Structure 1
Amino acid sequence: MLTREEYHSHDRQPFQQPNQTPQRPPHYFHRSHHSKIWYLVLIIIIAVCAFYLVEGIDSAKTFNRESYTPQNQSTTAQSQIDNHQPISVLMMGTDTGALGRHARGRTDTMIINSINPAKQTMSLTSIPRDAPAHYNNMLTKINSVYTLGGANQAAHYVQTWLGIPINYYMIINMGGLDKIIDKVGGVTVDPPLTFKYGAANVKKHQKVNLSGMQALDYCRMRHQDPLGDYGRQIRQRQVLFQLFDKLCQIHNLALHPSIANSLSDNMKTNLSVKDLMTLALFYRKANRHHVSSHLQGHTEMLEGQDFEVISPHEKAKEARLINNNLTNN
């Protein structure tokens, strides 16, 4: 028998069905819904990263298989890049169909690239393609050394000829340069003169962003330039400085698969993917202060051929500039 107080107390309790689940506050469902969304987003991000990691590894393997030519590099040369020391790279541009895949063309573009990460300086020095070269006991033009002996012999010849160290080389198919430039969004240049040639239509000192094909024609034009081949060299160095800067930007550092594939198709080098990544990560600030130069010659006929003869004084001057950039003193 309940007392009056017990009865009223019992009467005030809310009625519950047997085994009924207690109600949850409305914001509980919002938290649960948002958690599921963020979990899904995280899964998608992980999946995308995994995809690009796998693609990147596959592209790196493809690059090393198709474009990387291992050499018996000295311990000193290898330790230089591993320890972020100054290095020099001989960059050689060939015609379409070169790179040993169809026929070995002449290196009509020859540029010595010296990079010093400590000084944050980079120099590009062009070599005239018609400079005389005494190779295999015969007189020929320096752009033929690659054709006759290959990339390693060309690098060794330039090293001895100029009296500078050459640590690495790159053979670039100029005909495929447009694809690489397009992958990085073009290159911006300040034209030294007004001209129209092929896809290139530029005005003097009006900066313009060039697509791959425009940049290629910008580098090729020679006859409209009062400086002739030397003027073309200036424009080639402009494009290479900008391309190096673009390739080293943060969003391209991981060698995006499409960029890696373009490099694989159009370049041969004794720099591995690991070396290239080290260059991109630790050497990219060197482009902040760059020096553009060339070996100036004069036209002279030798054995019935026109050559661009470089004086000993000119060679010594340019060698000194390159060697200075390769030291941290």
Structure 2
Amino acid sequence: MRRSDRRKPKRLWLKIPLIIVGILVLGIGGYVFSVYSNAKNTVNDKMHDPVETIDTDLTKKKLQATEPLNVLLLGIDAEEGQAGRSDAIMVMQLDPITDALTIVSIPRDTRTEIVGKGIQDKINHAYAFGGTDMSVATVENLLDIEIDYYVSINMDGLVELVDELGTITVSNDVEWSDSKYDFPEGIVEMDGDKTMAYVRMRKKDPMGDFGRTQRQRKVIEGILNEGASVGSVPKFSGMMGILGSNMSTNMDFDDMKKLFSGYKDTRRNISEHMMAGTGEKIDGIYYLIVPDEEIQKAHDLLTN
């Protein structure tokens, strides 16, 4: 047997793993491109919705210079026929200079001036009166800050996201039960339907609406944690489809990429603050009256 013939089997066994690796690389590369392309199209074509209140050119300059940014987060809930009202209102500041992320939660019953309407009302009614534009203007006026980006999501969309992921886990602080589910203190695993029951409960929480806002934050964190896992990568396209139908923002895809690359380390230092006040009935309607010093505290947290 010639020497060249004797070498063929060895060379063949060397080539087979290389071919398999090559196919895997090409397959993964194609998948990544598909996901990237799908994400870009979904964000730019379905989610992207600029508002007049926010100066897009100024915001993009701040983003390019990696300056601190304020992002308004709005959770829109259709519970009890209240479609069009922002059930959760938070301002999130991303500060890449100190690698810090600050979240200020504004109770939905906070009584304030509704900018553009000229009346004093609950802050969550701003969305019902004038959509995102009026919500942004009202929050800017209340806290005397500048909003750079907004993100609004239909709270029912969170249920679809959880079901797409399978389940999420949260660290529950208050033990309670309803007619369908038990929520023991500690780690709780939830599907979409159980998640909605978790975020909507108020009466059994000693902290009332404050506790509800905290649970909403826990659910969002649970979705982010589960969505960031390696096992969730194949579900990315489905998740983007759900977000495309339930989420709006003035960010385009390039803005999101820049935020990820320039602001991702802000997650290392997260601080949260819930604005506090006193409940009061005016003309038979319940409001939360937030004192000036509490408003000033929130302003300082988002501007210092």
Query: Structures share a fold, TM > 0.5?
Result: yes
- For each residue in 1:117-176, what CA deviation from the matched residue of structure 2 results, as whole angstroms up to 9, or x when unmatched? 332322222111111233312332211111111102211210111112211111111011
Equivalences for 1:1-329 in 2 at 5 Å? Answer: 22=2, 24-71=4-51, 73-96=55-78, 105-135=84-114, 136-184=117-165, 186-197=167-178, 201-204=182-185, 206-247=186-227, 256-324=236-304
Shift in alpha-carbon separation, 1:64–1:253, aligned structure 2, 3 A: farther
Letter matched to residue 309 of structure 1: I
C-alpha displacement of 1:253: 8.8
TM-score, normalised via structure 2 length? 0.85
Quick one: distance in 2 between partners of 1:198 and 1:276?
41
Distance 2:259 2:251 in 1: 10
Stretch deviating more after TM superposition (254-263 or 134-143): 254-263
Q: Could you list the per-position Cα deviations for residues 271-302 of structure 1 after superposition, in whole angstroms to 9, with x for gaps in the alignment?
A: 11222233334433322221121111111122
TM-score by length of 1: 0.79
**Distance in 2, Cα, partners of 1:198 & 1:282:** 46
Distance change >3 Å, CA 312–CA 272, structure 1 → 2: same
- Give me the whole-angstrom Cα distance separating, in 2, the residues matched to 1:198 and 1:260: 33
Letter in 1 for 2:112: A
CA distance in 2: counterparts of 1:281 and 1:203, whole angstroms: 38
1:77 deviation in Å?
1.6
Task: Name whichever of 105-114 and 297-306 sits farther off.
Answer: 297-306
Q: 1:245 touches 1:287 (CA, 8 Å); kept in 2? A: no
More deviation, 256-265/233-242: 233-242
Partner Cα separation in structure 2 for residue 88 and residue 246 of structure 1 = 25
8 Å CA contact retained: 1:253, 1:280: no
- What is the letter of the counterpart of residue 182 of structure 2? N
Which one has a bigger Cα radius of gyration? 1
- Aligned residues with identical type, % of pairs: 24
Query: Are the counterparts in 2 of residues 95 and 173 from structure 1 also a CA contact under 8 Å?
Result: yes
- Specify the code of the residue in structure 2 equivalent to 1:146: Y
2: CA distance, partners of 1:248 / 1:280: 13
1:56 and 1:256 in contact (8 A); partners too: no
User: Helix, strand or coil: the match of 1:150?
Assistant: helix
Deviation at 1:80, TM superposition (A): 2.4
**Which is further off, 298-307 or 32-41?**
32-41
Give the number of aligned pairs. Answer: 298
Deviations 1:229-261 (A, max 9, x none): 111112222233444455566787999322221
Would the alpha carbon gap of residues 245 and 37 (structure 1) be closer, same or farther in structure 2, given more than 3 Å must change?
closer
Q: Is the 8 A contact 1:253 1:281 kept in 2?
A: no
Q: What displacement does 1:225 show? A: 0.4
For the residues of structure 2 that align with 1:25 and 1:111, how far apart are their CA atoms?
A: 72
- Tell me the SS of whatever aligns to 2:203: coil
CA distance, structure 2, for counterparts of residue 137 and residue 59 of structure 1: 40
Moved more, 130-139 or 228-237: 130-139
For residues 211-231 of structure 1, give each alpha carbon's deviation from its aligned partner in whole angstroms, at most 9, with x where no partner exists.
Answer: 343333222111100111111
Distance verdict in 2 for CA 1:242–1:291, change over 3 Å: farther
Q: Which has the higher helix share?
A: 2
Tell me, in whole angstroms, the C-alpha distance in 1 between the residues paired with 2:63 and 2:216: 25
